[in-house]
Structure 1
Amino acid sequence: MEPITDQPMDQPKQKVKIPCNHMLLYIHLTQSYSYCAVCNGDYGLCYYCSRCNFQAHSECIEWPDTIDHPSHSRHPLKKVSPGTIDYTDGKCHFCREELVDPMYHCSLCNFSIDVNCWRHPPQRTIYQPKSHEHTFTLMPRKITFTCNACGMLGDCNPYFCFECGFMLHKDCIDLPRVININRHDHRISRTYHLGHGDWGSCGVCRKEIDWSLGAYSCKRCPNYAVHSKCAIREDVWNGEELEDVPEEEEEIEDPYKVVNDKEIIHFCHEEHNLRLGGDDDVTGYEKMLCDACITPISSDPFFKCVQCEFFLHKVCASLPRRKRNIMHTEKLDLQVTKAGEYNKCISCRKIFDGFRYCSRFEKFDVRCGSISEPFHHELHPHPLYHILSAAEKLKLCGACGKYLHYVLSCTVCEFNLGMDCATLPRKVRHICDAHDLSLHHVPGNSKGQQLWCDSCEGKLDPSVWFYGCDDCGSTLHIKCVLGDFNHLKPGKKYGEAELVVNDGMTRPFCISCKKRCSFPSFLKATCPNTLCEQRWGFPSFLKAASPDSFVLFACSMDCAYDKYFMLWFYEVDY
């Protein structure tokens, strides 16, 4: 078809009738390397017939004024614009997409469809023996019904089984039969009728399940079930149908080999044996950190290397090599961070060293990677679950007052807990107090109270969590107690900088904020004079490491890393 040349401004735009009855695709014009058959334009979305080599913008096509549709045979449908009717829900009756101009509508029945659903009407009958033994027939009228597959209310044309009386949404007929989800260790199978039983709540959203409707259930766990729509959420299911895939028990390698009653060989430290420490060893090693979770050994049972300074909590030594996690749809692998490297946890957003649980593209620290449901926290009376889906909005964390995506939520009250706050140590030690500090919060209305941090001497908001001493009454900000580097191990080098414990007689000045480093640890690096002169102009507090270099310190991540220039404090931008 020859393209029509541009028309004068005073003439109406010409349109063309579709020259065939073939299936049309809706594509970008650039994909067909051609032009609109009407306006000769080479951009925008168009309808395209590959058999006739025809393409035209929707606005350049002369759509018929009235049409007949097999799913609405009682009345013809008239072409209208969405803005001319204000009593519809604004969505196509079949695909549930937003209606755009042109659309077709029956004002007597309040029935609307878009052009795509007219060009490609839904199947009148569907027979899928793997899904159901009978044929589903599309009902010719719009009704309000409860879908037997997903249990959700529908207001459209359902597919109906005359043998069983089941009514289904169109997209529920093709639900996968057998799947794995990240909330359960076994496969779950779909059924249109769950059956009577003590099913409890959905394993994902934690809401009630109607046993008279369809859902997914586990053959091994008699009381476990999940709503159909919850099971196929993109943050719960990886998209793989497992019906024809044989189920084989995965052989997961043990994290360590037993040498004797007291010694093991761990996969992360195979060169030396690890020996189980007794109660007498705790006092000497209480300041040492576990090389897996980078938290103090404290009074927990632990393993110590017989030849070097390597420690593992007994719990961390038993972490599985592979496991499912509520934050990811694939199984995660336990890995060890290489020397000089660090990671950033995808859920709590903290930088960390030590062990990590990994997918192909994402990393979780072992604290977030080990969280399972239900999650219990001593500062909240009810169990918590990861209910928020990938498509939902951010939730307010009740511990820090920030809006976050990765949260654990309470099904009893309106409380959410961010992953960073959920994994905070319950008890810590700090130089400001001789006793253990524990997590605190002030319940109820705390507007009349004013607390102060004993470390930075700044105001402390009682509506957020903080560390406090039950013996002395001291209160401290969480950041003042932990700092930014609490999941990195002091004494290690990260790039050109070394992490140093802040336990000297005097605290050094930070090169960025120009304040004394007040956190438990800081980064220390030696930098050439040229860098110091270029970026800071030799502040008076700089200490010379040699005639050609100075020692620099950074107290936090904000001070250590310039996000705008993407530079560490010891680097220079050429």
Structure 2
Amino acid sequence: MVPNKHYKCPVCLKYCSDPDPTYGCWECCLYLHDGSCFETKLPPQIQHFYHPHPLTLSTTPRNVKCRACYEWSWNIIWYYSCKQCEDLGMDIPCALSVLAASTTTKSESQIQHFLHGHTLSLNKNKLDDQKVADCCVCRKGCTGPTIYVCGRDGNCKNIYFHKSCLEFPQQICHPFHPYHPLTLTLVEQNFYHLKKCNACRKSIHTFILYGHCSFAYICEGHKCDFLLHTECSTVMMPVITYEGHAHLLQFRDHNIENNKLNCSACKSNICESCAFTCLDCDLNLHLLCGPLPHSIKHKYHNVHPLLLTNSPVQEELEDETDEFYCHACEEERDPQLPVYYCAECQFVAEIKCVFSEVR
């Protein structure tokens, strides 16, 4: 029995130090605590709910970042890894925890979810209002009545999920990227080059360090460099093809927060306007500078063609009115945005209300 305070037992990941009796192999630098660690039988292969492929017990020393708890183990000898996915490793305690959990009764109070490698527990939110933890999916404070948490220490003490955020599907097909499916994925080193969400252009929060993590929908395996915030994945604003550009253009309402966006055609700012934006590159176009047709026919007004016109339209200027309505949806509209207009019938329609005909 050899105590050694410089090495960790690979089964429990605790240091082999006095007064704990330890078995050791000097040549391999392998040390095991006497008792349960030494007597633990490690399956040569397991199936973990967090990963679709089998995990195989590996005995080649290497540095491993556990995919379940996000902790590094340096020069570890025993761990589980995926033969198909080179980057995936899992330490012994996290890998075996799924086997222990499988023997317990499953209920809504404890679930296994593809977003985290440990069993999650449903707890009432007792956090101090001044120190509300952020949900790892939406990055918003967990202020609801119930949240799912990982009860383990270390990095996992910062793992919180809204119950509703755990209902996001693992894979989606989205009109913003119709070429390939998008997978809800932990944003980590492999995706650090994806700095912004392709839809909203806001930064991706990569809080992997210090126990935080973030998730986003990513096009995996196709080298598309396409990423969506989870909240942006629920936005279904229309997209169009444009013969003057190779990528899809997204129609955006006038709520862009980044005031540095300029129209690629006229070079003026577009943050106060509706616009077309390329989902793949930095192309932004005002509606009048972009690919909108000059004239359309629409079911809301099939008597005459509707013409793309600056707003306010002529009779609104003459009437000096301060109320502006869209005749298609019968709701108030922004008088600063272009419209489709029939002068003969004085019919005015917002672009977003006739967008099905525009594309």
Give TM-score scaled by structure 2 length. 0.37
For the pair shown, which has the larger CA radius of gyration, 1 or 2?
A: 1
> Per chain length, whose mean CA-contact separation is higher, i.e. which structure has more relative contact order (CA < 8 Å, sep 6+)?
2
Q: TM-score, normalised by structure 1?
A: 0.25
